[in-house]
Chains A and B, each alone.
Chain A
Amino acid sequence: METMDTDLPNRWIDIGKVINRGGPFAAPDFQPDTKESPNIMNGLQSDFKILVIGAGGLGCEILKNLALSGFRNIDVIDMDTIDVSNLNRQFLFRRKDVGKSKAEVAAAFINERVSGCNVTAHKCRIQEKDEDYYRQFKLVIAGLDSIEARRWINGLLVNLVVVDENGDVDPDTIIPLVDGGTEGFKGQARVILPRITSCFECSLEAFPPQVSYAVCTIANTPRVPEHCIQWAIMFGLEDKDLPKPFDPKKFDNDNPDHMNWLFQTAKKRAEDHNISGVTYKLTQGVAKNIIPAIASTNATIAAACCNEAFKFCTESSGSLNNYMMYNGLNGVYTFTFEYESKEGCAVCGTNIVTYPVDPSTTLTTFLENITTDSRFQFKKPSLRCNGKNLYMQGLLHASTVPNLPKTLPELSVQDEDEITITDPSLPGSLAVRMRIKYKLSN
């Protein structure tokens, strides 16, 4: 492998200025590189392994930024393949690459363009790698649009931190997670130091689940084109009397014939109700929950993330503490602040969430309340209390169904009792502990 000394002595002259020279705003432990001991440069070129999760709009930018920050050992994980609508911003891909693995094409491109850089691609889901795999990295950068994947990697990295019996954190086990996200002209970048700062799960409320339309509006009183498209998705696909050129169980958003059927069905529904405005484009937008995305916002957010990664590894400057919001709609607006840890965070907290509830609440209503609560965003929760299964998924599900109409006191849940909730959206074996606090009924 080529190094700075043997190959192109002036290549890293710009980075050299901030790693060879001290400055008033460098981290307290910063030791500038010298000719005799170029520790930071050696770190960039061989010791610091960086993991990039996602090779999409943010991921392409992140890989380029890391490579041109001097990092040479980079892994990238992405299971997706390239779509034509990626080409307006995912600049490592060309038309000829459509259908190929994002991770593989991106890695090959960077290795070809930036000499000396070594990006390794993994076309898989992040859940397919074990803890030992993740432990090898100095830092992880996530450029994902999936909340679920971000929760998973966050939980894993928090769990990797070793905490002794006094509650002291072993700093060598901390792997920072730098996380970026964008939507149209807006985005955010943040630094998570597991067990030190707030974690992704602490801020779940900042990522509310997408708006859903009331089912009865969709079924009975459609008013806008979106309602008609939702109807085609929710009811049209299941309606056996509606002829379809495909198996409705195998409906595929990316198949133009399927999408066209959805469009025609929605259009018919709209015409029946005198509603105008159903277009193919809108149908696609609703069905795929398309989020607008542009190159410029991705570039800004990815670079903000990589700047933090570079500063963390080189200690050559201060750092973001710990959250930057970005909005480019009107002027260029940013807001940088410290996102605080949430009491009772299921991932990094030690406290228990106190949950006020009316004693007449049935298990059904309770389940409804906690699944719609934006702090938790449970998908399929299982509940246990005092060693007893209140509600379970999977094999034990049937045995707990009779509990649904019963109230919590009827299920022997006492005031101040703790309900343990597990859910597929929570990483690993993590659980939310909820202390029930009965409200006095009036």
Chain B
Amino acid sequence: MTDSEKYDRQLRLWGEDGQAKLEKSHICLLNGTALGTETLKNLVLPGIGAFTVVDSHKVAESDLGNNFFVEKKTLGQSRARVVCELLRELNDRVKGFSVEEDPVYLINNNISFFKDFSLVFANRIPETALVTLSAYLYENNIPLVVGNSYGYIGYLRVSVPEHQIIESKPDNPMDDLRIINPFKELDEATQKIELTGLNSQELTHVPYVYLMIKFIKEWKSTHDGKAPETRAEKEEFKKFFLSKSPNPDAENFAEGITNMLKVLQPYRISSDIDKLLKDEKAVNPTEQSDDFWIMVSALKSFVESHGVLPLNGNLPDMHADTCSFIQLQKIYQEKGIADLSEFSSLVDSLVSKLGKDQISSDLVKKFCKNTRFLNVVRYKSLAEEYEKPNTSVIISELEQPDNNMVYYIALRAIDKFFSTYTRYPGFHDEEVDSDLPLLKSATHALLQEHSISSDLVKDEYLAEMTRYGACELHNLSSLMGGIISQEIIKLMTHQYVPLNNTFIFNGINSTATQFTI
């Protein structure tokens, strides 16, 4: 029995490379609550390298009512140690450590404790300590994830100065076919094909790429050298294209029509990639630059001399006979290899100019194959958010009926409430009624601080939050644990695109919203 069998269903998503990154990561959890253990469960199962639980609590009766990683016989024992042991049972390849210490104490007295973790996941940490932790991690480029499971409401916040993604793996990526701007080798191969000599059977076996390139060229020759641009022209081109079909059922022609609008789009580099190429870090690489930005900088040179990104070199399956398909596939592949080799030498010369170590050829290759989907996400620190939140987003969301932003505001107000009274509103049955007005004042003060009208947060939401009294329902913790672990996997593997920056799940009606606050 090997790990590749056990991990088969996930390797099909993030591959050996993503798995290796996951296995190198060490995640620190602050407080072994239900939310904390549910999140770690989904990280231990797919095989992170290690985790550490920091928690000074003892296993309480209430833990037995919402936390799967405690047992009745462990009542009164260190919660850090108990959850750590039961989580480790899930996967013998994962190392688990427990630290019986109050996270707030560590933050205030020994903050360098956090310097070697790959990521810190904090839950139920009071605001002041959280801001201190956030500032330290931000400075040290360590991702911080903050989560909360509060009654029927879930909260998630991700923060790291800069997160680089080579494999963003979009859902339905466009193929990189260059039909509208064929490269020399593709153009020449198309010229060589004589459609007139083919019988109708043979004609239905020509890949649509050739057909498109040929007929666009023919069209251009009678339209001042211009490809179809307007809607009317495209409609007319469609008729023209179909008139060449030997019969109405020809699948290659049908494929051409299906893809026509896509392939007639003028070639352009997406605005996201363009923004990366114009980034200060790409324009002025230094000896401090990391591999990613050196490669972006080399990409910038490539684009400056060619006007296009390196070709990815993959050809999707399309209707054709085996031989023509393989031949066309080779043309794309070889061009992909040629572009890669040119790009690699640009990288090499930049690296030696800056006096840096070589970048591994595997990494350069992966970068080169994915240049259309590069992504850099930059996050605000928590301190910045608390001081200067994106109030225009907050206000416009609060003005929507049934919005989930009210819960963000309520949770922030609850943090303020906790700072003042060192308890959560409605935590004790006998204080539910008297805590509600206190929470209202805390909310209004918070809104006022950021010049937001207090009419935008209706009392009923605060009454609902007071009702919860900081209770942790297992379902909400498990749901948020699923989402948080997924975001942590994205941050650790540098694949897919993580949330930027805040997420609220509303378990009352099962809706959710993401905000950049």
| Contact partners of B10 in chain A: CB under 8 A | 88, 292-294
- Is there a chain A Cβ closer than 8 Å to B182's Cβ? no
- Is there a chain A Cβ closer than 8 Å to B460's Cβ? yes
| Contact partners of A255 in chain B: CB under 8 A | none
| Contact partners of A10 in chain B: CB under 8 A | 60-62
- Interface of chain B residues 1 through 47 with chain A (CB within 8 A): 1, 5-10, 12-13, 34, 38, 41-42, 45-47
The answer to whether A65 and B474 touch across the interface, beta carbons within 8 angstroms, is yes
The answer to whether A113 and B479 touch across the interface, beta carbons within 8 angstroms, is no
- Is there a chain B Cβ closer than 8 Å to A102's Cβ? no
Minimum Cβ distance to chain A for residue B426 (Å) = 8
The answer to whether B66 and A17 touch across the interface, beta carbons within 8 angstroms, is no
- Interface of chain A residues 311 through 330 with chain B (CB within 8 A): 317-321, 324, 327-330
Say yes or no: A332-B487 contact (C-beta < 8 A), given A22-B467, A302-B478.
Answer: yes
**Cα-based distance from A12 to B30 in the complex (angstroms):** 23
The answer to whether B68 and A68 touch across the interface, beta carbons within 8 angstroms, is yes
| Highest count of chain B CB atoms <10 Å: which of A17, A22, A290, A334 | A17
The answer to whether A332 and B514 touch across the interface, beta carbons within 8 angstroms, is yes
- Is there a chain A Cβ closer than 8 Å to B265's Cβ? no
| Contact partners of A189 in chain B: CB under 8 A | 510
The answer to whether B9 and A292 touch across the interface, beta carbons within 8 angstroms, is yes
The answer to whether B510 and A87 touch across the interface, beta carbons within 8 angstroms, is no
The answer to whether A318 and B509 touch across the interface, beta carbons within 8 angstroms, is yes
| Contact partners of B13 in chain A: CB under 8 A | 184-185, 292, 294
The answer to whether A295 and B42 touch across the interface, beta carbons within 8 angstroms, is yes
Say yes or no: A113-B42 contact (C-beta < 8 A), given A65-B475, A185-B486, A317-B152.
Answer: no
**Cα-based distance from A310 to B510 in the complex (angstroms):** 13
Question: How many chain-A residues does the 8 Å CB contact rule pick out?
Answer: 85
- Is there a chain B Cβ closer than 8 Å to A360's Cβ? no
Task: Please tell me the size bucket of the interface on B.
Answer: 35 or more
Nearest-neighbor residue (CB-CB) of B92 within chain A: A95
| Contact partners of B463 in chain A: CB under 8 A | 23-24
> Please, what's the 1-or-0 string for B482-517, where 1 marks a CB less than 8 Å from any CB in chain A?
110111010000001111100100011111101000
- Is there a chain A Cβ closer than 8 Å to B476's Cβ? yes
| Contact partners of A334 in chain B: CB under 8 A | 511-512
Minimum Cβ distance to chain A for residue B95 (Å) = 18
The answer to whether A85 and B473 touch across the interface, beta carbons within 8 angstroms, is no
- Tell me which of B5, B464, B479, B503 contacts A303 (CB under 8 A): B479
The answer to whether A299 and B42 touch across the interface, beta carbons within 8 angstroms, is yes
- Tell me which of A11, A14, A290, A324 contacts B12 (CB under 8 A): A290
- Tell me which of A8, A14, A22, A91 contacts B471 (CB under 8 A): A14
**Cα-based distance from A329 to B169 in the complex (angstroms):** 8
Say yes or no: A88-B511 contact (C-beta < 8 A), given A273-B326, A295-B45, A329-B171.
Answer: no
The answer to whether A224 and B317 touch across the interface, beta carbons within 8 angstroms, is yes
| Contact partners of B320 in chain A: CB under 8 A | 221, 223
| Contact partners of A321 in chain B: CB under 8 A | 509
| Contact partners of B319 in chain A: CB under 8 A | 217
The answer to whether A294 and B503 touch across the interface, beta carbons within 8 angstroms, is no
The answer to whether B7 and A88 touch across the interface, beta carbons within 8 angstroms, is yes
- Is there a chain A Cβ closer than 8 Å to B260's Cβ? no
Q: A20-B429, A332-B483 are in contact. List 12 more A-B contacts (CB 8 A).
A: A10-B62, A16-B471, A87-B6, A88-B6, A88-B47, A95-B1, A294-B486, A296-B42, A317-B508, A319-B509, A320-B509, A334-B512
